[in-house]
Each structure stands twice: as C-alpha cells, then as structure tokens.
Structure 1
Amino acid sequence: MKFGYLIIYVPDVPASLQFFESAFGIATRFLHESNTYGELDTGETALAFAVDELAQMNFSGGHVAAHTSVKPLGIEVGLVTEDVPAAHAKALNAGATEIAAPLVKPWGQTVSYVRCPDGTLVELCTPIK
C-alpha cells in the first residue's frame, strides 16, 4: 500500500489552486480542462482538489463541505517551513482566516493554523528536529 494523493472537495478548483499558490507558494501541477479537478506540485504525493459535484456523484449519502462547515473539519494539511510567522502572515494576507497564531510547542516546534477560503484547515509548522 502506498499513499498516492489527498483530494479536497471544494466549490471552485481553480480558486483553490490559485489560493495555495499565492498563500503558500505551491504551484499548480495540473488542472483538467473542465476545471473540476486539479493538483498542486507537491512532489510524489499529490494534494488535489475536486469540485463538490464530483463528491455528490461519488458518495450517495453526500458529504460535509469544508467551506460550509462553521468549524474546521477534523483533518488538516500540514505544510513545513522554517519561518512559520512569515508564512502565517502571507497566508492571512492572501485571504486565509487565522485559527491559531504561531506558537512554540513544548517540543520546540513552531506551529500555527489557518483556514483557507475553501474551508481547508492548514497547519504551518517548522520541521521537527
């Protein structure tokens, strides 16, 4: 078994891809011509976005759309950076909402949390040393 990708269902795939590029500096690797599916250039394991309508087609019982949930979903995307305060500020400037300001954890790692306009919860953190 191998972890191949993570798909986040969103209302607007190009907007989510653009947000991740402007907020976190991660470029788009692929966007389907239908604008219903796209991937970020995250290396071997893809971080992808698909429109909510595809989730509705795939799950007969529906799904909880992150952008309509008052609270963040119980899953996060972790992005590692040497400068969490700068990354946090850049994300907020790009339109993210602050969930938790940068804080040094007891084990020495600096961590913050932001919520993207599409509802995705992102942890910004320094590498664990």
Structure 2
Amino acid sequence: MHKDFLAGALKAGLVAGLFLIVNLLLYHFTALGAHYAGFVYSLPVLYVLYYGFSLIILFSLQMVQKNSASQIGYVFLGLTTLKAVGAYFVARPIISKTIDASAEKINFFLVFVLFLLIEVYFTAKLLNKKQ
C-alpha cells in the first residue's frame, strides 16, 4: 500500500511540477506577466496547496481501499466536496478583489481542475483494482 501511495504521489508531483513550470513560463514570457505581480497567492503556493490536498485525498483513499473498498467512491466524493469548500475559502480574497483579476481567477480554477483530474485518475485506478 505504501509503495502504491508513494508511486501515486510521485506521479502527481511530476505532473503538477510540469504544469507549474509551463504556467510560470507562460506568465514570464507573455503579456500575462503584468497580471502575475498582483496575484494574492503565487503560483507555487497554489500548486503546493492543491498538491497537499491531493496527497491527503490519495492517502485517505488508500486507507479506505485497505479497510472497506466498496466505499472508495463515497469517500472520494466527500473529500472532494471538502476540498472544494476549502478552495472557496482560500479563493475568497481573489473573488472579492475590486480590480479586474480575471487572469488570477481563471488560473486558480484551472489549477483546481488540474488536481481534480489527477485525483480522479488515481481514484479510477483504485476502483479498477478492486474488481
């Protein structure tokens, strides 16, 4: 189990790191760089935050698979809902900005979706392993 978790965490980290580099380069070499200076949260902070959420979810799902494999889907939905609520509270300063922060809002949402896709991928692998 720990080997599977570590392999999943490493793969998720590599994918996230690759997207972070692409995201940083996009803001560095395009006109979007002017928007980046006013971000509430830097890109590395967002990626680390969501990576932490993902690790907690993946570890929890591994534990559930060990104890009660038929509950993986329900646990995933519950943890993803908690993650979305947490993301809302983290995003409140971005949402409530009075100046135009559309680039930051879009970036925040896309990073959320990226990590959601990573979690869905690993959850699907766990569900298929059960059969």
TM-score, normalised with respect to structure 1: 0.31
TM-score, normalised with respect to structure 2: 0.30
- Higher fraction of strand: 1
* Larger-gyration structure (1/2): 2
By relative contact order (CA 8 Å, sep 6+), the higher-ranking structure is 2
- Higher fraction of helix: 2
